[in-house]
Structures are given as structure tokens and as C-alpha cells.
Amino acid sequence: MIAAAFALFGATLPAASALASSEPLTVVYWSANDCRWCTWWEGTIIGSGGEAKFLKSPEGKAVRYTVVKKPRLSEPHAEGDFSVDQKWLWPRVRDQVDGKIRGYPSFSLFQGDKLVVYALGEKEFATKLMPAVKEKLAAK
């Protein structure tokens, strides 16, 4: 009986792994209206535009990209900062489920509702988030 239970459990592991890899990938861009480094990422300063470059890339086209922008850097996120399709993020931020947002601009990669990686700034976007996106896409 125990052997049967282990066999059944083992048989479900590949299915669970396949399910996890089929979960959608979401990149969340955390921003604030008065964040000067955010304007650089968004391309509102001549010569910048990491956001547009990412969204035109194969990785950017393969993930869901969503922007959560609060009014001011000095204020914490509030429920009103989240659009209807972002409401699943509000309790995570409020309760610090994934830790604190450490600065702006920053980025979170989720697979389904599981945090994969958090990146602070454009440098970590390139060194942490993009490799994680590529790895997750390759596993699909």
C-alpha cells in the first residue's frame, strides 16, 4: 500500500512540473510618477527607452507586461494604484508576501502567481530578470 502511494505521488510530479511550466509569465514594472530613473526606463528622456526595447524583443513579446505606478515615491502603494487586472498584486504588496519593493524602477517576474525573481533597476533587469525570463521561456 505504501509503495502504491509513492508510485502515485511520483506519477504526479511530472504533471505538476509540466503545469508549472505552462503557467503564464508576467513581468511587473514597479514605478512612481515622480521617479526620474523610471522616466529613463520608460523612454521619456532622449536616448533612453529600455521599456520599448524590451517590449519589442522576443522575450517582451512572450510575456505579459504590466505597469504599477504610484503617485509619489514618498508614499506607499495603495489599493487604488492597481488596475482591475492587477488586483491580485495588491494583497501581495500590502502584506509583503514577496518582500518589500526596495526601490524604483524595479521589476518582478511571476510564473502564474509565484514570484520567480525581483530586480531593482535596469542593471538587475539585465543581469537577473532577463536571464530568468529566457530560462523560463526555454523550459516551455
Q: Which residue has cell 531593482? A: 120
- DSSP 8-state class, residue 24: P
Beta bridge partners of 25: 111
Q: What pTM did the predictor assign? A: 0.83
DSSP 24-92: PEEEEEEEETT-HHHHHHHT-STT--HHHHHHHSHHHHHSEEEEEEES-TTS---GGGS-GGGTTTHHH
Q: Which domain holds residue 106?
A: 23-139
Instruction: Specify if 106 maps to a domain.
Output: yes
* Predicted local distance difference test score (pLDDT) of residue 12: 42
End-to-end CA distance of the chain: 35
Residue type, 12: T
Instruction: Specify if 5 maps to a domain.
Output: no
pLDDT tens column, 11-62: 444 444 444 567 999 999 999 999 999 998 998 666 668 999 999 999 999 9
Confidence of residue 10 (pLDDT cuts 50, 70, 90): very low
Q: How far apart are the C-alpha atoms of 117 and 78, rounded to whole Å?
A: 22
CATH number at residue 69: 3.40.30.10
Q: Which residue has cell 515615491? A: 73
Instruction: Specify if 8 maps to a domain.
Output: no
Number of domains in the chain: 1
Beta bridge partners of 110: 26, 115
